[in-house]
């Protein structure tokens, strides 16, 4: 994982900066995750937000694939009023985040979304 949110992924010239990058050099796998808070409060907003993040990071994913990596791009989505996208569970499993920490992460993300939307 690259801890500096202001740094690009090493080995690329891309200015894109995914919020979470998990790299397994032994298996040549990279998982990129971005957090997004769509303002619209309807189910299609979740799907649109996911599609926009995948599209935004597609050039970076292709650059990494050209270097031999298997790349996955995901979004963690919480609506502005704190609704948790059920597909986030799959994203957290892909990132190998344990159930206890995943539950805590969900609670904190939802409460922050609510707090900052008021």
DSSP of the chain: ----TTSPPTT-------SEEEEETTTTEEEEEEEE--SS-SHHHHHHHHHHHHHHTHHHHHHHHHTT-EEEEEEEEB-TT-PBPTTHHHHHHHTT--HHHHHHHHHHHHHHHHHHH-
Whole-model pTM: value is 0.81
Q: Does 76 score more than 50 pLDDT?
A: yes
Q: Does 107 score more than 50 pLDDT?
A: yes
The percent of residues above 70 in pLDDT, for the chain, comes to 92
Domain residue ranges of the chain, discontinuous segments joined by +: 20-116
Q: Per-residue confidence at 13, pLDDT binned at 50, 70, 90?
A: confident
């Amino acid at each position: 994982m690259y801890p500096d949110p202001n740094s690009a992924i090493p080995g690329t010239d891309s200015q894109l900066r995914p919020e979470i990058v998990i790299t397994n050099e032994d298996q040549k796998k990279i998982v990129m995750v971005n957090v997004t808070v769509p303002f619209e409060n309807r189910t299609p907003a979740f799907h649109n937000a996911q599609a926009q993040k995948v599209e935004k990071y597609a050039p970076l994913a292709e650059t990494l694939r050209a270097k031999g990596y298997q790349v996955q791009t995901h979004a963690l989505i919480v609506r502005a009023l704190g609704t948790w996208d059920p597909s986030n569970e799959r994203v957290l499993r892909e990132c190998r985040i344990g159930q206890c920490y995943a539950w805590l992460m969900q609670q904190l993300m939802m409460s922050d979304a609510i707090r900052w939307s008021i």
